[in-house]
Amino acid sequence: MTEKLYYRDSFLGSFTGTVLSCEQGKGGWEVILDRTAFYPEGGGQPADHGALGGVAVLDVHEKGGEIVHLCDGPLEAGAEVSGEIDWARRFDFMQQHSGEHIVSGIICAAHHCDNVGFHIGHDLVTIDFNAELTTEDVREIERRANAYIWEDHPISIAWPSPAELEALEYRSKKALTGEVRIVTWPGTDCCACCGTHVRSSGQVGLVKLISCQKFREGVRIEMAAGGRALQWCNTVAGQNTQVSQLLSAKPGATAAAVERLQGELYALRGRVAELEEKDFARTAEEHAGAGDVLLIQGPMSAESLRKLCGAVQERCGGRCAVFAGADGAYQYAVGHPGGDLRGLAKAMNAALNGRGGGKPAFIQGSVKAQEAEIRIFFAEAR
C-alpha cells in the first residue's frame, strides 16, 4: 500500500518518494511510489496534477490500495524522485470540497435530507439533494455557510474505531466497510470522506450559491467557493458593467433598463408590422394581374418575406418569387396558388447554389447568388 502523505498533511505540496514500479500503460507510464502527496481521484474530488522526477503527472488513481501516477515519461524503478503538486489546482479543489461539506451539512440538518450527488466541474461545483428548496432557503443557507466560514472554525479529521463509529451521527452516501475517515466541521457537519480539505473554515473564503434547479426527486445546486467564487463574481460583474455602459444605466439598475428596452422593441415591432402590411398591400396592388412576378428586396425577416409573397401571389394571378437580402446571400419565398413549384425548387437550388423546399404551391429557402444571376434564372424559368 502506498503511504498517503496527503492524509498526514493536506498542505504538503512537494515531497520525495522511491519508485517501486513503472510500467507503460494506456495513455502514459504508470508509476507507483512507496509514498505520495498526489491525491487520486475520489469522493467527488478530481485527481492532482503536477510533476514527478522531471516528468508530468497527468492523472492519479487508486488501485487496490496503491496510488497509480499516470506520467508522460518513464521513471527508473528504485530511484528516489521528488514530486511537485500543481498547488493552485489542489488548493482550488480543497476550497470547493470544504465549502461543499459546510453547505451540505447546513442543508441536510435544516431540511432533513441527503446529499445525493457532488461534482467539482471545470467552472462550478454541483451538489444534489433529495429535498425541495425555495429561493429564500438558498439565501439563508448561503448566509449561514458564510457566517460559519468567517468564524474560522478548525477542521477535525479522525479514523474512529468501529464502536466509536457506531455511536456517531455522520453523513455518508453509501454503507461503508473497513476503516472510515470522518471529516468534521464542528457544529455544522460530520461526514465520511476520503478527500483533502483546508485547515480551517476561513480558508474557504466565501461560498456563493449560484443556482438551485429541480433535479430528479430534489434539487441541484450550483456553487462556487474561494477563488472560484471571486472569479464568478468578476465574470458576472464584468457583464453587468458592459450592460450598464451600453444602456447608460446605473450598475444596480440594469434589469429595469433592459425591461424598458424590451418594451420599446415590442412597440417598434408592432409599428413595423403595421407599416409593412400597408407597404405589402401597395406592392400587391402594383402587380395586380401581372402574371409571374419576381421581387428582389433588401434584408427582411422570414415572417415579412412570407407575408409579402402571400400578399402579391393573391393579386398577380401567377407565380410570385420574392428574394430578400444582399448579393451573395438571399432568402426566398415563392408562391403559386394551385401551381406545382417542386421542379422549380430543384432547378433553382441547383442553379443558384441554394437550399430549401416546401409544399407544391409554396417553397422557401436561401440561395448564395448575385441579383443578376437570380434575374437570369427567372427570365429563363417558365
CA distance 254 to 259: 9
Residue 188 Cβ vs Zn ion, minimum distance, rounded to whole Å: 13
Rule CB under 5 A: is residue 105 a binding residue for Zn ion?
Answer: no
Q: Which is nearer to Zn ion, 45 or 313 (CB)?
A: 45
Stretch that binds Zn ion, among 78-86, 187-195, 225-233, 335-343 (CB under 5 A): 187-195
Task: Please tell me whether residue 198 binds Zn ion under the rule CB under 5 A.
Answer: no
Residue with Cβ nearer Zn ion (30 or 100): 100
Contact positions with Zn ion (CB under 5 A) in 214-243: none
d(CA 292, CA 334): 11
CA distance 159 to 189: 16
- In the bound state with Zn ion, the residue whose beta carbon lies nearer, of 120 and 312, is 120
Q: Side-chain half-sphere of 67: how many Cα atoms within 13 Å?
A: 24
204 binds Zn ion (CB under 5 A): no
CB-based contact 280:308 (threshold 8 Å): yes
Task: Give the nearest distance from C-beta 33 to Zn ion in angstroms.
Answer: 24
193 binds Zn ion (CB under 5 A): yes
Number of residues that bind Zn ion (CB under 5 A): 2
Spatial separation of the C-alpha atoms in residues 173 and 163, rounded to whole Å? 20
Q: Which is nearer to Zn ion, 31 or 193 (CB)?
A: 193
Nearer Cβ to Zn ion, position 165 or 381?
165
| Residue placing its CB nearer to Zn ion in the complex, 93 or 362 | 93
Least CB distance to Zn ion at residue 43 (A) = 5
Which residues, listed in sequence order, are joined to residue 294 by a DSSP beta bridge? 321
Contact call for residue 60 and Zn ion (CB under 5 A): no
The dihedral region occupied by 230, where left means phi > 0, alpha psi between -120 and 50, and beta the remainder, is: alpha
Nearest CB to Zn ion, comparing residues 69 and 197: 197
Q: Which of 17, 195, 226, 354 binds Zn ion (CB under 5 A)?
A: 195
Name the residue whose CB lies closest to Zn ion: 193
Instruction: Phi first, then psi: give them for residue 351, nearest 5 degrees.
Output: -75, -30
Per DSSP, 182 falls in state E
Cβ contact 69:23 at 8 Å = no
Say how far apart CA 354 and CA 172 lie, in whole Å.
60
The yes or no reply on residue 53 touching Zn ion (CB under 5 A) is no
Interface segment toward Zn ion; rule CB under 5 A; list 195-203, 204-212, 338-346, 370-378: 195-203
Q: How far is the CB of 101 from Zn ion (least distance, A)?
A: 6
Question: Contact 77/35 with Cβ under 8 angstroms?
Answer: no
CA distances from 80 to 17, 24, 29 (A): 6, 19, 17
Residues 276/268, Cβ–Cβ less than 8 Å: no
- Say which amino acid occupies 61: H
> Least distance (Å) from Zn ion to the CB of residue 267?
54
Q: Which is nearer to Zn ion, 191 or 229 (CB)?
A: 191
Considering only the stretches 23-31, 185-193, 324-332, 366-374, report the one whose residues sit in contact with Zn ion under the rule CB under 5 A: 185-193
Kindly list the residues in this chain that would bind Zn ion in the complex (CB under 5 A): 193, 195
